[in-house]
A and B are shown apart, each in its own frame.
Chain A
Amino acid sequence: MKETLTIKSQIKDNETTERISGSEAVIKCLLAEDVDILYGYPGGAIMPVYDELYKYQDKIHHVLARHEQGATHAAQGFARISGRVGVCIATSGPGATNLITGIADAQIDSTPMVCITGQVGSHLLGSDAFQETDIIGISTPVTKWNYQITKASEIPEIMAKAFYIAKSGRPGPVLVDITKDAQFEEFDFTYKKCTKVRSYKAVPETDSSMVKKAAELINAAKKPMIVWGQGVILGGAEKELKAVIEKAGIPSAWTILGASAIPTAHPLNIGMVGMHGNYAPNKLTNECDVLIAIGMRFDDRVTGNLETYAKQAKVIHFEIDPAEIDKNVKTDVAVLGDSKESLTQLLPLLNKNKHSEWHQEFKDLYAIEYDEVIKNDLHPTKEGLTMGEVLKEINKQTDGEAAIVTDVGQHQMIACRYAEFKNTRSNITSGGLGTMGFGLPAAIGAKMATPEREVISISGDGGYQMTIQELGTIFQQKAAVKVVVLNNDFLGMVRQWQQLFFDKRYASTEMINPNFVAIAEGYYIKARKVTKREELADAVKEMIESKEAYFLEVCVEKEDNVFPMIPTGACVSDIRLK
């Protein structure tokens, strides 16, 4: 096959050429794409680009992470809260391989990200040179697109495509690998934004006849239920979704990545679906007559056993990615396209409705969940602190305005269950990959993208220690991230499974933890530890009032479990309350 790229793309013309090096061209491309911040870590094969970053530091801010994985999660946090493309940069070999977890996370959670890696000189490719690794081969299955640049002249076109592909359609990560000689090489630079790639259809057209069919099903439904996902947030369709929900009076639930698109307090918001979601929407998934999925992909953590999932219901799927249609759940009506566009078309076709009796069924089941689970989580009578009451206190003191960035485990489920969101893009978490260590660096990226927002990172004692070194980034960048660790001295979620499904054989889930306060203080971050209920409100207050970064460790009950729960592979309606 030919060595040079031949993707045909249409480009806007605004040409002026200047003779510059490949590495300077990289910076100019970033500036042309409105990038003013990127996250990374230097090394041999990317040094020419770092040299240019030094020269352009007044225009573009490089955030030195403490590990390349941290850089990727920071770029993800940046992208998730702002909707912009997150950018990270690393050297070849180990620098590049350290990006992989974050790239895989961005791929499965559809996060727009461009990763730039240095590569050994093109004459050394394939020779097992120092710090050579086949990052194109390694990253292929976890990127939306990737490309290796071996000539400086390829840089503008490839960078333009990288940004276009990362952010258009269903977003995702793109990796651009640049050999060192291409970084040094001089060429005539000119930049044209990419607006089209001929082999790639970013957004399929919405077929109005399908929208009509969907509307007919919804209008005829007696017990309709909506489950929305991140597609609503990615499409910027929050308002359109709210209008649809309110006009048709449909009880609506969300997947973990859909959280915050509609305020928690909205009367028709019936909570989260999935393994640790709310009782009512899970149970009634198997009672509804029309299930309307919007920008979600029927992940197995949402559906449980597919053989018993919503079999009674007609399924409508609003989706941007044709490969998701019928992938897990067979649909009756598939409406392809961008969520904003398709919901806009749907709205005028819907009849006004109330579905009060059906809505009441959700409220009744909520009451059961409240008595059995929520009451004890939020208003515990036992001595030990619960994760739920920490969330309740945070809700109260931030008035639901904060962005909550979580890690992975019990605290994540508790945070998503109990956080009260008022604004969209307020829940940032690793959903599809479940990457421990995501939370802290993602919170840094989120805070740097939106300094005006309160950003609270909530982690468990396990995941926190997977990227704890990023406290150094917080300190160096003076990023006013609020860092909460809910410490149960266990890898809590795994311990819960061991308790429930492995007869309490706690194999390697107990953690002997360090002095977390001392570690934070070692990074010159204000820190406090809470062990008693009486101290909680005051500590949260101190944290929220802090203008700088703040670390708060809350020692919670060691062996609390998260309920409700759908055991793996069980039927959604067999959700357990204890």
Chain B
Amino acid sequence: MEEKQNFTVSVYTENNVGILNRLSAIFLKRHINIESMTVSKSEIEDVHRFTFVVIVTKTLIRKVVGQLEKQIEVIRAFYHTEDEIIYHETALFKISSKHLYDETIQNKMKFRRAHIISITENYFVIEASGLKEDIDNMYEKLKPYGLLQFVRSGRIAITRPKMAISELLLEIN
């Protein structure tokens, strides 16, 4: 059996209503769970970028990316393994103010990419960013203080190999 692994799928699309539906339908058809998803604008004007993370085999991701790319409004789609990308996630933790001066919490925040971004009378908010494991780690550490709210972003990723979208668009236009 071929092994499953994390793949980061980057899909460059036109900026139109309804594309997400079309893309997610392709994962749905093959019963693939989307681990994380981010949509944003890209380096090119009017071109959007979807970043999906899925855990599947290489054979399957090849086929899925082919089917994503086939959608009319998809300009190009790529898949990358973990070592081909530089990636990041961000999380926000809302915690009751009574722990603000707790030394243990200060210690736990020594992780280099965590800091307090807001303080009010009742609560304060910690922002942490890093790899999924870093944030999982932080989550476990902060949980005992009672998380009033927790939210984590989808993965954003920059690929080491080139994704020649601009060149491709130049060629088409």
Residues of A participating in the B interface, judged by any CB pair closer than 8 Å: 1-3, 5-8, 136-137, 140-141, 144-148, 165, 196-200, 321-323, 325-327
Q: How far is the CA of A197 from the CA of B72 in the complex (A)?
A: 8
Interface string of B64-87 (1 = CB under 8 A from A): 001101101111000000000000
Within 8 Å of chain A (Cβ to Cβ): is B147? no
Assess whether B172 is in contact with A165, with CB atoms less than 8 Å apart.
no
Q: A199 and B74: CB pair below 8 A? A: yes
Task: Find B21's partner among A137, A147, A325 (CB 8 Å cutoff).
Answer: A137
A148 CA / B48 CA spacing, docked (Å): 20
State how many angstroms separate the Cβ of B2 from the closest Cβ of chain A.
13
B162 contacts chain A at the CB level, 8 A cutoff: no
Query: Residue on B with the closest CB to A134?
Result: B21
Q: B111-152: which have CB < 8 Å to A?
A: none
Whether a CB of chain A sits under 8 angstroms from the CB of B99 is no
In the complex the two chains form, is B62's CB within 8 Å of A7's CB?
Answer: no
**Is A322 a contact partner of B66 (Cβ separation < 8 A)?**
yes
B14 and A6 contacting across the interface, CB-CB below 8 Å: yes
Report whether A7 and B73 are in contact in the complex, using a CB–CB cutoff of 8 Å. yes
**Assembled-state Cα–Cα distance A321/B17 (Å):** 25
Residues on A with C-beta less than 8 A from B29 are: 141
B63 within 8 A of A: yes
B16 proximity list for chain A (CB < 8 A): 1-2, 5-7
CB-defined interface of B9-50 with A at 8 Å, one 1/0 digit per residue? Answer: 000011111110110010011000000000000000010100
Please determine whether B173 and A144 come into contact, CB atoms closer than 8 angstroms.
no
Residues of chain A within 8 A (CB-CB) of B67 are 323
20 other A-B residue contacts (CB within 8 Å) besides A8-B173, A141-B22, A199-B73: A1-B15, A1-B16, A2-B16, A2-B17, A5-B16, A140-B18, A140-B21, A140-B22, A140-B25, A141-B25, A145-B73, A147-B18, A148-B17, A198-B172, A199-B13, A199-B75, A322-B66, A323-B67, A325-B66, A326-B62
A165 x B72 contact (CB < 8 A): yes
- CB pair A199–B72 under 8 Å, yes or no, is yes
Can you sample 19 A-B contacts with CB below 8 Å?
A2-B15, A3-B17, A6-B46, A7-B73, A136-B18, A140-B22, A141-B22, A144-B72, A145-B73, A147-B18, A165-B72, A197-B72, A198-B169, A198-B172, A199-B74, A200-B72, A322-B70, A323-B66, A323-B69
Residues in B with CB closer than 8 Å to A197 are 72
Chain B residues positioned under 8 Å from A326 (CB to CB): 62-63
Q: How many A-B residue pairs have CB under 8 A?
A: 66
Please pick, from A136, A141, A198, A322, the residue contacting B75 in the complex, using a CB distance under 8 A: A198
Nearest chain A CB to B164's CB is how many angstroms away? 15
- Of all A-B residue pairs in the complex, the 3 with the closest CB atoms, nearest first, are A323-B66, A141-B25, A145-B72
Task: List the B residue with the shortest CB-CB distance to A323.
Answer: B66
Chain B residues with CB under 8 A of A3? 17
Q: Give the residue name and chain of the B residue nearest to A201 (CB).
A: B172
Known: A140-B25, A144-B72, A199-B74. A323 touches B172 (CB 8 A): no
**Which residues in B have their C-beta under 8 angstroms from that of A325?**
66
> Shortest Cβ distance from A204 into chain B, in angstroms?
11
Asked if B70 and A198 make an inter-chain contact with CB atoms under 8 angstroms apart, the answer reads no
- Shortest distance from the beta carbon of B45 to any chain A beta carbon, whole Å: 10
* Chain B, residue nearest A165 (CB): B72
Q: Which residue of B lies closest to A141 (CB)?
A: B25
Q: Quick one: closest A residue to B13, CB to CB?
A: A199
Closest to B70 in A: A323
Q: Is A1's CB under 8 angstroms from B66's CB?
A: no
* Inter-chain contacts of A146 with B (CB < 8 A): 18
Most central of B14, B69, B169 by chain A CB within 10 Å: B14
B170 to chain A, nearest CB (A): 11
State in angstroms the CA–CA spacing of A144 and B14 once bound together. 16
Question: Smallest Cβ distance from A145 to chain B, in angstroms?
Answer: 4
Question: In the bound complex, what is the Cα–Cα distance between A323 and B169 (angstroms)?
Answer: 21
Chain A residues contacting B69 (CB-CB under 8 Å) are 322-323
Residue of A nearest to B47 (CB): A199
Q: Once bound together, how far apart are the Cα atoms of A2 and B17, in whole Å? A: 7
Q: In the complex, which residue of chain A has the Cβ closest to the Cβ of B76?
A: A199
Contacts of B18 in A (CB 8 A): 136, 140, 146-148
Chain A residues near B72 (CB-CB < 8 A): 7, 144-145, 165, 197, 199-200
CA distance A321 to B70 in the complex (A): 8
Chain A hits for B17, CB < 8 A: 1-3, 148
Hey, which chain A residues are within 8 Å of B70, CB to CB? 321-323
Per the bound structure, the CA–CA distance linking A144 and B22 in Å amounts to 10
Q: How far does the Cβ of A91 sit from chain B's closest Cβ, in whole Å? A: 21
Q: Inside 8 A of A200's CB, which chain B residues have their CB?
A: 72-73
Separation of A199 and B21 alpha carbons in the complex (Å): 17
Bound-state CA distance A1–B18 (Å) is 9
- Min CB distance A233 to B, Å, is 21
Chain A neighbourhood of B74, CB < 8 A: 199
Chain A residues near B25 (CB-CB < 8 A): 140-141
Question: Which residue of chain A has its CB nearest to the CB of B66?
Answer: A323
Alpha-carbon gap, A28 to B54, bound state (A): 46
Q: Which residues of B contact A141 (CB under 8 A)?
A: 22, 25, 28-29
- Please indicate which of the listed interface residues A148, A199, A323 has the most CB atoms of chain B within 10 Å of its own CB: A199
User: With A141-B25, A144-B72 in contact, do A323 and B173 touch (Cβ < 8 Å)?
Assistant: no
Bound Cα distance A286, B20 (Å): 42
Q: Smallest CB-CB separation from B74: which chain A residue?
A: A199
- Chain B residues in 8 Å Cβ range of A322: 66, 69-70
Shortest Cβ distance from residue B111 to the other chain A in the assembled complex, whole angstroms: 35
Q: Is the CB of B173 within 8 A of A327?
A: no
- Smallest CB gap from B25: residue in A: A141
Q: Which residue of A lies closest to B39 (CB)?
A: A1
Contacts of B169 in A (CB 8 A): 198
Residues of A within 8 A of B73 (CB): 7, 145, 199-200
Q: Chain B residues with Cβ under 8 A from A6's Cβ?
A: 14-16, 46
Q: How far apart are A257's CB and chain B's nearest CB, in angstroms? A: 19
Distance in Å: Cβ of B143 to nearest Cβ of chain A: 36
Contact residues in A for B13 (Cβ distance below 8 Å): 199
User: In the assembled complex, which residues on chain A have CB atoms less than 8 Å from the CB atom of B48?
Assistant: 1
Q: Cα distance A478–B3 when bound, in Å? A: 61
Q: What's the nearest-Cβ distance from chain A to residue B75, in Å?
A: 5
Provide the bound-state CA to CA distance between A5 and B72, in Å.
13
Q: How far is the CA of A538 from the CA of B74 in the complex (A)?
A: 57
Q: Which A residues touch B22, using CB under 8 A?
A: 140-141
| B19 contacts across to A, CB distance below 8 A | 1
Chain B residues positioned under 8 Å from A196 (CB to CB): 172
Closest Cβ neighbor of B65 among chain A residues: A323
Nearest B-chain residue to A200, judged by Cβ = B72
* B12 → chain A closest CB, angstroms: 9
